[in-house]
Amino acid sequence: MTYSIIGRDPDRGEVGIAVQSRWFHAGQDLAWIEPGVGAVCTQALIEPGYGPGGLDLMRAGHSAADALAELTTADAGREVRQVAMADADGRFAQHTGAACVPACGHTTGRDCCAQGNMLAADSVWPAMVTAFEETDGALTGRLLAALDAAEREGGDARGRQAAGILVRPAGATGTPWEDRLLELYVVDDPDPVAELRRLVAVKRAYDRLGAAFDLVARGQLGAAADEAAAAQALAPADDQITFWRAVMLGGAGRGAEAAEAWREAISAHPGWPEYLRRCIAAGLVPPEAAALAEGPP
């Protein structure tokens, strides 16, 4: 009832999983990654225990193939399971049970493996691998390209509903939230892959906005305003980014640009002036930006 791909960036060491399914919130129990250990996809008549179980075995030194063999041998329901694993050495292992609903199957490629069941055609998983291999750039874009390729081949035979994407670094940082380079889910949408792409762009925009806040903290207000503008380019309709871009422009002394951004922000959400006044009272914005709160632009 799902198609998925595990992919690696051999240069950066990052590992990611992307998935789409005609099932609510697909991905929450399907995709498992532990930095420096491996990744697991468990689907069809899903047994979530393959996720932590596979990671435990790979953490103990088992290869992906050995971990998968041990878990499937012990699973009485293995013929209705579909499981893929990747270990820290870049080796892949896959299992598609004989009782999985067709079209179903799996294949591996360069730095990736793809698998699916209950699909429209048996061309889906090979197309995913081809798209991943032929797409340049960062891992996230290559994973999304694989989902797009699956959709062009018909995707899930039952239609579309949910999607997800996870990306983890080569090794654990010791700070779990910093290991979540990317983790986004579309839980219920008629076009989940397109929505997932939109969310990836919004995530990138907010990453840039976060970088702008870091620059503000270092007193680099002009650079912060430029970084906020880069964030806005990734999410043009996001009025919260517009609000902070106006504030940072004001703080940098770029009054005309700040006023224009301010008009855009309050046109989208009239509550921004009151919020700005509260931020000023809390000392959260540069004093130079306070002029924006003094009245209508």
| Residue after which a domain boundary falls, among 162, 190, 218 | 190
Half-sphere exposure of 221 (CA within 13 A, CB side): 17
Looking at the domain assignment, is residue 196 inside a domain?
A: no
Q: Measured between alpha carbons, how far apart are the two ends of the chain, in Å?
A: 53
Is there a domain that residue 198 lies in?
no
CB 90 within 8 A of CB 8: yes
Pair (136, 22) in one structural domain: yes
Which DSSP letter does residue 26 get? T
Q: Is residue 160 part of a domain?
A: yes
Asked if residue 28 has pLDDT above 60, the reply is yes
* H helix intervals, the chain: 50-59, 64-73, 124-134, 139-152, 176-179, 192-217, 221-234, 239-251, 255-268, 272-281
* 186 and 220 together in one domain: no
How far apart are the C-alpha atoms of 47 and 49, rounded to whole Å?
A: 5
What is the spatial distance between Cα 83 and Cα 93, in angstroms, rounded to a whole number?
8
- Give the domain range for residue 232: 203-294
The DSSP call for residue 170 is S
CA–CA distance, 64 with 88 (Å, rounded to integer): 9
**Is 197 within a domain?**
no
* pLDDT surpassing 50 at residue 117: yes
Domain containing 163 — which CATH number? 3.60.20.10
For residue 265, tell me if it sits in a domain.
yes
Give the rounded percent of residues in the chain with a pLDDT score beyond 70: 99
Could you report the per-residue pLDDT of 221-258, keeping only the tens digit for each? 999 999 999 999 999 999 999 999 999 999 899 999 99
Shortest CA distance to 108 belongs to which of 88, 129, 122?
A: 129
Q: Is residue 133 part of a domain?
A: yes
In a domain, 195, yes or no: no
Task: Please tell me the predicted confidence (pLDDT) of residue 297.
Answer: 47
What CATH number has the domain bearing residue 263?
1.25.40.10
Asked if pLDDT for residue 283 goes beyond 90, the answer is no
Say how many domains are in the chain. 2
Q: Are 78 and 95 in contact (CB under 8 A)?
A: yes
